[in-house]
Amino acid sequence: MATTLNPTHVSTTRVARRFQLSRLWQLAAAHLALLLYTALALFPIFLVVVNSFKNRRAIFAMPYALPTAETWDPVGYQTVFNNANFGLYFANSLIVTIGALVLILLAGTMASYALAEYRFPGNTLLGLYLALGIMVPIRLGTVGILRLVVALGLADTLWALILVYTASGLPLAIFIMTQFMRQVPRELKDAARVDGASEYRIYWMTLPLVRPALGTVAVFNMIPIWNDLWFPLILAPSENVKTVTLGAQVFLGQFVNDWNAVLASLTLAIIPVVVLYILFSRQLIRGLTAGAVK
């Protein structure tokens, strides 16, 4: 007996196949765009790392080539460790970055908890006022900040950098953290109050629940703080408080630049940022995906 095909079934199958092909093309195009963007973003870093292991002639003659037996030369790293206080610069950058991140997360989560938990007249306006700092570059107030730092006796100290970076990172931290704090179930906090927990205890209890937001805030503030050159140059230019970014300028002269040492110092400066990003990357992805629906 001959079988007849249902025209409706055939039409539905063709539509489904076309939809699948269209979906595959869209995914392929999206992944291709992301790969191109990744290559574009990583290419400068690749050039810095690769050329840091070459001699001076090879850096200019073959900047895109990998080091070979003839061009390999670690003189830049020898210069960094022997002729500069790179270990001190590295430690200063770690102290400033970690200190600022701790204060940003501590003060930002406290302010966010208060804005999310307590409703009072002007709550929304206060939150918007605190978030305005995202749109105002802190470098516009450099002169006023410098005068304040000098008046407080904090010039040429790491505390000046820590406090400035904390002030610049708080608006974004409060803006992000407030949205996550409002998603914490109120029943959980009310149950803790019934059990006799203090508000500080409840605050500490909510922090593990907003861990993705903490990772997101940490990553967004960590990289600008570590890479900043402006405020270390103005507020803490002394030798004993130089950061890695400012210390790399030691090898840039008026007439002669030691490019081997500059590239080596920049390569070493990349390592902590990569390590901290890897540690916080999972929380960053969770925070971004959760924030997409908030």
Supply the pLDDT for residue 139. 86
d(Cα 223, Cα 47) in Å, to the nearest integer? 20
- pLDDT confidence tier of residue 96, bands split at 50, 70 and 90: very high
Query: Residue 23, class by beta-carbon neighbours within 10 Å (0-12 exposed, 13-18 middle, 19+ buried)?
Result: exposed
d(Cα 290, Cα 294) in Å, to the nearest integer? 7
Supply the pLDDT for residue 159. 94
Average model confidence (pLDDT) across the chain: 83
Please give the residue that has the higher pLDDT: either 21 or 152: 152
Most confident of the ranges 70-74, 97-101, 273-277: 97-101
Supply the pLDDT for residue 8. 61
Please give the residue that has the higher pLDDT: either 255 or 123: 123
Average pLDDT over residues 27-53: 89
pLDDT of 210 > 90? The answer is no
Most confident of the ranges 66-80, 150-164, 183-197, 270-284: 150-164
Average pLDDT over residues 157-177: 92
Nearest to 111 by CA among 245, 41, 203, 16: 203
**What is the number of other CB atoms lying within 10 angstroms of the CB of residue 98?**
15
Supply the pLDDT for residue 293. 47
DSSP character string of 153-212:
T-TTSHHHHHHHHHHHHHHHHHHHHHHHHTTS-HHHHHHHHHTT--HHHHHHHHGGGGHH
d(Cα 107, Cα 218) in Å, to the nearest integer? 13
**End-to-end CA, the chain:** 60
Rounded to two decimals, what is the model's pTM?
0.79
CATH of 90-244, one of 1.25.40.10, 3.30.9.10, 1.50.10.100, 1.10.3720.10: 1.10.3720.10
d(Cα 221, Cα 164) in Å, to the nearest integer? 12
Segments making up each domain of the chain, as ranges: 90-244
Give the orientation angle of helix 86-117 with respect to helix 211-227, to 10 degrees.
140
Residues whose CB is less than 8 angstroms from the CB of residue 86 and which lie 6 or more positions away in sequence, other chains included: 80, 244, 247, 265, 268
State pLDDT tens for residues 110-123: 988 888 888 778 77
Residue showing tokens 């900040």? 145
Q: Which helix (H) or strand (E) holds 249?
A: none
pLDDT of 232 > 80? The answer is yes
pLDDT of 244 > 90? The answer is no
Average pLDDT over residues 245-274: 79
% the chain with pLDDT above 90: 19
Average pLDDT over residues 61-85: 84
Average pLDDT over residues 148-160: 92
pLDDT of 292 > 50? The answer is no
- pLDDT confidence tier of residue 1, bands split at 50, 70 and 90: very low
The token pair at 50 is 């690769």
Give the orientation angle of helix 86-117 with respect to helix 75-83, to 10 degrees.
80
pLDDT of 137 > 80? The answer is yes
Q: Which segment of 12-21, 69-78, 100-109, 157-166 scores lowest on mean pLDDT?
A: 12-21
Supply the pLDDT for residue 131. 79
Residue showing tokens 């840039």? 252
